[in-house]
A and B are shown apart, each in its own frame.
Chain A
């Protein structure tokens, strides 16, 4: 199919069009036995008209999925250490470091050093665990926000919220990022600021193995303490060293 040479230039040119030619129809046009009528056509999802294109799409996807599932090749670099104070984790691949950083040092609460998977959950945690104004307001109104992004429901207690998460959003009853705020207890390991039991919880809880967790079921939400979980020696936060950011500001430093 030979295209007129001016066509390519036209494509690169300005928008616009020649004035349309005058339309003048004869009533006999398309009359029986003829049946032509100019009309637009639409095709629904499953129409066989789309078969060829759909097949091409899936051939492409097959290649993509196979590549994605393949063993990840990580380009190795000379070993380096995490730069965060108190962390001496060593890496030889940048992606591993990125993940470590975001997981452990990313959304970290400056009060209790607990790490969260997202800024959203961190914000909720700080509000509910470390904001005294929140506690006051919570006595009078629904302050516990649903954890699911996009859901604007608020609840009187964290238990009500959990109920909502389970029944409405089909979340697991033991969802790890919805620990109810426990009372202050005797200071456990490191810091002298509040919520000592959360201290151990931040590392230990998160690394808590499932079978132990299973023993906790049905979980009496309030008084559970989780002390003394072993931290592998390669992560040397050390006794007395602060984890993550040394921040005395009220708000946690977020990345």
Chain B
């Protein structure tokens, strides 16, 4: 049963067109940031525009005197409600970046806040934690670094029992982690990895999701491969993560998404993937892939690609490890259901998220490249034609041709099944394109077909293949291969 995250796709108050427009803008900003290697940035996490649109109450900038007054009331107020209210007012003010700046520059302010955070007054503690959470949202590293005195306590509270509080601490930590390397440098010796390893045993889904978020931010840090991932791999975290990704009725989408991304950051950093394989990562991910394919057929849940994407990436990268050859699981055992699942997911991508098609085909390449078994599965499950249909999708043409080459290069028994069908007319169509890479890969495939499939060259000639080749005779990267094919076709 897939239970979605609370409010995951809850629509905002604006119109659909406005939403789409804003989403395109956000996407463009993220794309730019990624190219500049700035994707892991707080600024991008907190979508300013959304808040302005939603903003019920106007956020007021608090001045020094007001902040001091609120802090004084919180510390020494007579009535508990009064103290709490003071902190709530402070928190609201802290939503504004200018208030944050004033706050951190005020002497003793963080100390006071930390004192309230560690008090035995539960409600004050919660409000103080929320104030810290607001501060953690700042785009300024200085503000994040001002929160350094609180981190040891945030970590200590992770082994408590109050799940709302733990959740808050985790999101706060996650935000601080993103913003400042100084914070990360302190958190590691303070024991964040063991603290997370203990906390991940919580049964509460909201806690787990928050933990996954914090961990994913930690793993995305640029120094993660050297400084962070080794200790994570040395802890019990990987086993717990794999457990949380086990398919079945207890799998929660929001939680699984976070941990699948964690796993992706670990795996693509290539620190010690063999260890993950011995812990059963390939088995778990393979079974999860099957489960996801079944799920996309059942539900129209448009959130599933958020999980499919990292799972596909993890599987694909893990397959390239030497250890993948020897360990058991549906992948090693050549379970053709994996191929079936992948095609169902490719169809899902085509409908919901075409930009993810290349990643799906990358996995298909890694499955089929060195595997006669999976190549045979493509044939026995009648998947060659659907594959050919994908050729028309421009962002994956080269990949589709590569997969077809993977099949064809295994010899005559394979080429026999690629022939005749739609393959020749489709190839002739691709030869009409001007994309050099696509054409080049088509030429490779043609060579294999001419070599292994009797009658292919003949049929090619009959379908005006030579003319199709002619337009590429002058292209530098293609001409040698074009000539070679022309020779083969004419003279056998």
- Residues on A lying within 8 angstroms of B by beta carbon are 1-4, 6-8, 10-13, 15-26, 28-30, 32-36, 38-46, 48-69, 72, 95-96, 98-104, 106-107, 115, 117-121, 148-151, 168-172, 175-177, 202-203, 206-211, 213-214, 232, 234-235, 255
Contact = CB atoms under 8 A, between A and B. Distances in A.
Contacts of B108: 210-211, 214
Contacts of A102: 122, 160-162, 165
A20 B376 contact: yes
Contacts of B122: 96, 99-100, 102-104
B411 A23 contact: yes
Contacts of B126: 96, 99
A115 B161 CA distance: 13
B389 interface: yes
B481 interface: yes
Interface of B: 5, 7-8, 10, 23, 26-27, 30-31, 34-35, 37, 39, 44-47, 50-51, 75-76, 78-80, 108, 111-112, 114-116, 118-123, 125-126, 130, 133-134, 137, 149, 152-153, 156-157, 159-165, 171, 175, 186, 189-191, 193-195, 197-198, 210, 213, 225, 235, 257, 261, 265, 268-270, 290, 293-294, 297, 305-306, 309-310, 313, 316-317, 319-320, 330, 333-337, 340-341, 343-344, 346-347, 350, 353, 355-356, 358-359, 362, 365-366, 368-370, 372-373, 375-377, 379-383, 385-386, 389-390, 405-406, 409-414, 417, 441, 443-445, 447-448, 451-452, 480-481, 484
B413 A21 contact: yes
A220 to B, nearest CB: 20
Contacts of A16: 335-336
A154 B405 CA distance: 62
Nearest to B392: A1
A22 B452 CA distance: 13
B359 A53 contact: yes
A119 B120 CA distance: 16
Contacts of A8: 297, 344
A110 B108 CA distance: 34
Contacts of B389: 1-2
Contact of B409 (A36, A42, A203, A207): A36
B355 A52 contact: yes
30 contacts: A2-B389, A7-B381, A15-B337, A17-B376, A19-B376, A25-B410, A28-B451, A29-B452, A33-B484, A34-B484, A40-B369, A49-B359, A53-B355, A54-B30, A56-B309, A56-B356, A59-B27, A64-B8, A65-B175, A69-B133, A72-B130, A118-B161, A119-B159, A150-B191, A150-B197, A170-B152, A170-B189, A203-B120, A207-B121, A209-B115
A50 B30 CA distance: 13
A34 B481 contact: yes
Given A53-B309, A115-B120, A67 B409 contact: no
A219 to B, nearest CB: 14
Nearest to A21: B413
B376 A169 contact: no
A57 B309 contact: yes
> What are the 8 tightest A-B residue pairs by CB atom distance, in nearest-first order?
A150-B194, A210-B115, A33-B480, A24-B411, A100-B122, A206-B120, A118-B159, A52-B355
Contacts of A64: 5, 8, 213
A158 to B, nearest CB: 17
Q: Which of A59, A72, A206, A209 has the most CB of B within 10 A?
A: A209
B372 A20 contact: yes
A169 B189 contact: yes
Contact of A29 (B310, B337, B409): B409
A30 B484 CA distance: 12
A42 B35 CA distance: 19
A172 B152 contact: yes
Contacts of A40: 319-320, 365-366, 369-370
A6 B119 CA distance: 63
A63 B409 CA distance: 46
Given A1-B346, A62-B26, A172-B152, A38 B406 contact: yes
Given A4-B382, A56-B305, A35 B444 contact: yes
Given A11-B293, A62-B44, A211-B112, A55 B377 contact: no
Nearest to B341: A11
B325 to A, nearest CB: 11
A169 B350 CA distance: 50
Nearest to A53: B309
A43 B75 contact: no
A219 B478 CA distance: 79
Contacts of B481: 33-34
Contacts of A36: 405, 409, 441, 444-445, 447-448
Contacts of A66: 46-47, 50-51
Nearest to A52: B355
Contacts of A99: 122-123, 125-126, 162, 164-165
A216 B425 CA distance: 85
A10 B381 CA distance: 9
Contacts of B385: 2
Contacts of A35: 444
Given A34-B481, A106-B161, A11 B290 contact: yes
A209 B171 contact: no
Nearest to B399: A41
